[in-house]
Structure 1
Amino acid sequence: MLAPRSLRKRSSRKQSVLRRVAILASVLCLLAAVGVAWLLIDNHSPDASKKPQRAESPPELSAWLADWEWEAGLSDLRTAAAGMSGLQVFAAYFDKEDHLTFTTEFQDAYGQIREAAETDGVEHLSLTVVNDILYEDGTESQKDADLIGRLTADSGSRGRHVEEIVNALRSYPFDGVELDYEKIPSSDWDGMSLLISELYERLAPLGKSLRVVLEPGIPFDKVKLPSGPTYVVMAYNLHGGFSGPGPKADLSFIRKLGAKMDSLPGEPYLALAAGGFDWLDSSGKVTSLTERQAEELASLSEASPGRDSESGSLHFRYEDDDGNKHTVWYADEETLALWAETARSIGYSHVAIWRLGGIGEESLGWMKSVGASS
């Protein structure tokens, strides 16, 4: 039986309203779902929360001082110290028995380095241990990959190495330790990660810090690095003794490296290299230069350095007294500032400088201003 016309009209209007409500509810649900999905995707993207949080950190600057050029390094330190929060002393190596050893230069210089750091207000002084083997005949094996395998082979070898480092800190009371172990075979990274973790756990109760240097080619997303230590990534070696002429780093290299670093724990440092290289055209022989040496070469040869737009680096060509042609690339104050600003723009405000000794006056002034502005 059909309902009266008036009832059918009211029923029809009611159903129409219900349909509109249902459609509106569906649209709202869809918009909400899209919004949630967007948030989830955004929070897991490489440009999400990590970078802004790191970018908000005040700038920090540290630098290395090498034992083989400690006097020139101390001279630079006295100028730039006001901007530095830390100094890493590149001084601990290994002997043929895989034990730590220190050069005579370091042993003679340690007291003056310590005094200068304290006098100039450097808050943190660290001992850098590097995987170079020094032999009694004066030869050496730099960045010895096999050494890493022996040091990290098992809990016993790692434990002995950890205790030897702790004993070194008793002989030379640094505030912390830095491991600069390079050319690590992929097969040794599990052991290396365990060494880092075990050393950190041993040092922490003693009030000592741990910092670890990482090469730019390491797959940070695959290597399991423990939280706790500070990590510093080398943002250089784009060109050098292994290549033809070019800058130590450029802006594209720094940005790509920064994206890789997002998987690292904590607030990593980006290491920038002062100075540059001199390439001999005829043989390809490469000579390392400090900034001051590069400036002197340019002045003596009456060359006018040009600035590369992709890296901010200076470069020039000259002819030596024997008629040999050379190409020089190097970093000055403007270069270092540009590299550091590029790093900061992608979320990395902590910078380390390799190395003190022969840095130009304007670059030292820039270093002094970095930490002072924080």
Structure 2
Amino acid sequence: MKIFKYKIITAIICSLILVTFAYTGWCERKPMPTSPQEMGIWITYWDMQSGVDMFSDNREKYDNISYFAACFNDKNELFLPENLQQAQIFLHQRKIEPSHRYLTVVNDVVSRGKSKVKDIDVVDKVLDGAAARILHANSIIALAEENNCNGIDLDYEKVFKNKETAEKYIKFIKILHDKASVKGMKLRVILEPSVDFSAYDFPQGPQYIVMMYNLYGLHSGPGPKADFTFIEKTADRIRNLPAPVGIAFSNGGCLWSSNGKKIFISEKKAVHLADQYKAVVKYDEKSGDKYFSYKKNNIEYTVWYADKNTIEGWIKKADKLGLHNIVIWRMGDN
């Protein structure tokens, strides 16, 4: 009998300890960083005309625009594609440019008609040493100024896959922010959702925009670019970033074929394919995405895509989680 009572008392004590630790952990959960209410959009150099046309028709919906993107040449120098400059001129002449205009800078190397995307090597080179980091910051700011932009989107991807590159990048973010601030420029740092935000000491000052997409895509089999569970889990990790924060959603979708071919497609293209092949379009409750399949020349095709209602559902979900600053990838049809 005494042994039985001892076991009961021990069980109660253990339960109280577990409840205490759980409550303490809940209380210590970091709050969501400040996320100012704003809506932004990207326009790309390869889909400039349709992007500009769509932006002109929806100007009142957006607080800022980001021109995608400044790239590197084979001499590790930044340049802006000519047709993107034309987009800026067009919007400026029509007086429909928003007050906040960002220039996106990416670590793509474009030379002699060929491109290498998300190149870590070029980042290593331009950030190799304190002097190099200062020079690179100055070149980014100068390019933004030359092109009538008062903000910078720093979008160097895959850099956190290499520890040394990541350390250089964190130092560079601080330098670029400090120098941009002197010029009255805002800095946004675009981060992939795969980055372990808790593992790095991100500097205070810039706004951090986390991609809420690529859950499924060219790297995987069929599925949505984002779903509600993915949004919740990523949002919880965003708590480890300094304020202010924001997130990016991607419209359009992806096409997968049984022969291994995978391509990104726009919502317009997805709707056209569904109509062309009289496919039955279904709705996925876990993501809000639409999807369908069809067959052509003995090849099976599967398409998942986000439409207006999908994006609105994701934005509402993010809003409930305390994330009110949204950027949409991207404006255009192609």
Establish whether residue 166 from structure 1 lines up as the match of residue 141 from structure 2. yes
Q: Give the aligned residue type for 1:78.
A: S
What is the alpha-carbon root mean square deviation over aligned residues?
A: 2.0
Establish whether residue 316 from structure 1 lines up as the match of residue 292 from structure 2. yes
CA contact (8 A) 1:244 1:284 kept: no
Larger radius of gyration: 1
SS of the aligned residue for 1:157 comes to helix
Report deviation, 1:332: 0.7
Establish whether residue 216 from structure 1 lines up as the match of residue 200 from structure 2. no
Establish whether residue 340 from structure 1 lines up as the match of residue 315 from structure 2. yes
1:305 to 281, 298, 307: 281
In the TM superposition, structure 1's runs of 4+ consecutive aligned residues that sit over 3 Å from their partners are 37-43, 113-116
SS of the aligned residue for 2:144 comes to helix
TM-score norm. by structure 1 comes to 0.79
Q: Partners in 2 of 1:109 and 1:38 — Cα distance?
A: 54
Q: Give the aligned residue type for 1:45.
A: R
For 1:65, the equivalent position in structure 2 comes to 43
TM-score norm. by structure 2 comes to 0.88
Q: Partners in 2 of 1:109 and 1:86 — Cα distance?
A: 15
Give matches, 1:144-293, under 5 Å.
Answer: 144-184=119-159, 185-281=162-258, 283-293=259-269
Establish whether residue 45 from structure 1 lines up as the match of residue 29 from structure 2. yes
Q: Partners in 2 of 1:357 and 1:193 — Cα distance?
A: 32
Q: Partners in 2 of 1:199 and 1:114 — Cα distance?
A: 26
Q: Share of identical aligned residues, percent?
A: 31
CA contact (8 A) 1:82 1:122 kept: no
Report deviation, 1:58: 6.0
Report deviation, 1:41: 5.4
Report deviation, 1:170: 3.2
CA contact (8 A) 2:293 2:301 kept: yes
Report deviation, 1:40: 6.9
Q: Partners in 2 of 1:346 and 1:107 — Cα distance?
A: 37
Q: Partners in 2 of 1:115 and 1:172 — Cα distance?
A: 14
Q: C-alpha deviations, 1:193-244, integer Å up to 9, x for none? A: 1111111111111111111100111110111111111110011111111111
Report deviation, 1:328: 0.3
Report deviation, 1:303: 1.5
Establish whether residue 89 from structure 1 lines up as the match of residue 64 from structure 2. no
Q: C-alpha deviations, 1:82-141, integer Å up to 9, x for none? A: 12111010020001111101222223333113345xx33622111000000011x21111
Report deviation, 1:175: 1.1
CA contact (8 A) 1:82 1:120 kept: no
SS of the aligned residue for 1:316 comes to strand
Establish whether residue 357 from structure 1 lines up as the match of residue 328 from structure 2. no
CA contact (8 A) 1:190 1:224 kept: no
1:110 to 77, 88, 93: 88
Report deviation, 1:43: 4.5
Task: Structure 2 unaligned segments of length 5 or more: list them.
Answer: 1-20
SS of the aligned residue for 2:199 comes to coil
Report deviation, 1:274: 0.2
Structure number with the higher strand fraction is 2
Report deviation, 1:176: 1.0
Report deviation, 1:73: 0.4
Q: C-alpha deviations, 1:144-165, integer Å up to 9, x for none? A: 0111111222111101101111
1:138 to 92, 105, 113: 113
Q: Give the aligned residue type for 2:73.
A: D
CA contact (8 A) 1:66 1:89 kept: yes
Q: Partners in 1 of 2:264 and 2:70 — Cα distance?
A: 22
CA contact (8 A) 2:206 2:244 kept: no
Q: Partners in 1 of 2:48 and 2:100 — Cα distance?
A: 17
CA contact (8 A) 2:36 2:244 kept: no
CA contact (8 A) 2:47 2:333 kept: no
